[in-house]
A = this chain, B = another copy of it.
Amino acid sequence: MAETRIGRDTKGVYIIAATPFADDGSIDFRSVDSMVDFYLEHGVNGMTILGMMGEANKLTEDESRRFASHILRRLKGSLPVIVGVSGAGIDNLRDLAGFAMGEGAAGIMVAPTPGPAVEDRILGYFAQVCDAVGPDVPICFQDFPQVTGVPVSSNTILSLTRNHPQIVMLKHEDSPGLAKVETVRTKSGTADTPRMSILCGNGGLYLPLELARGADGAMTGFAYPEMLVQVVNRHAAGDVDGAEALFDAYLPILRYEQQLVFGLAARKEILRRRGAIASAFVRRPGPRLSPADHRDIDRLMRRTEDYVRRLGNAA
Chain A contact residues, CB within 8 Å of chain B? 25, 55, 57-61, 87-92, 95, 113, 115-121, 124-125, 128, 132, 145, 149, 151-156, 174-176, 178-179, 182, 205-206, 209, 212-213, 244, 248, 251-252, 255-256, 259-263, 283-285, 290, 292-293, 295-296, 303, 307
Contacts and interface: CB of A to CB of B under 8 A. Distances in A.
Contacts of A296: 178, 209, 212
Majority SS at the chain A contact face: helix
Contacts of A178: 262, 292-293, 296
Contacts of A113: 285
A235 B63 CA distance: 47
Contacts of A61: 60-61
A290 B181 CA distance: 13
B91 A58 contact: yes
21 contacts: A60-B61, A89-B283, A89-B284, A117-B117, A118-B151, A118-B174, A120-B153, A125-B285, A175-B259, A176-B260, A176-B263, A178-B293, A178-B296, A179-B262, A179-B293, A212-B296, A213-B292, A244-B252, A248-B251, A251-B251, A251-B252
A119 to B, nearest CB: 5
Q: Report the copy number of this chain in the oligomer.
A: 4
Nearest to A131: B284
A122 B297 CA distance: 27
Contact of A179 (B205, B290, B307): B290
B58 A92 contact: yes
A87 B285 CA distance: 10
A313 to B, nearest CB: 12
Contact of A88 (B58, B156, B256, B260): B58
Contacts of A60: 61, 92, 95
A244 B304 CA distance: 12
A98 to B, nearest CB: 13
Nearest to A94: B284
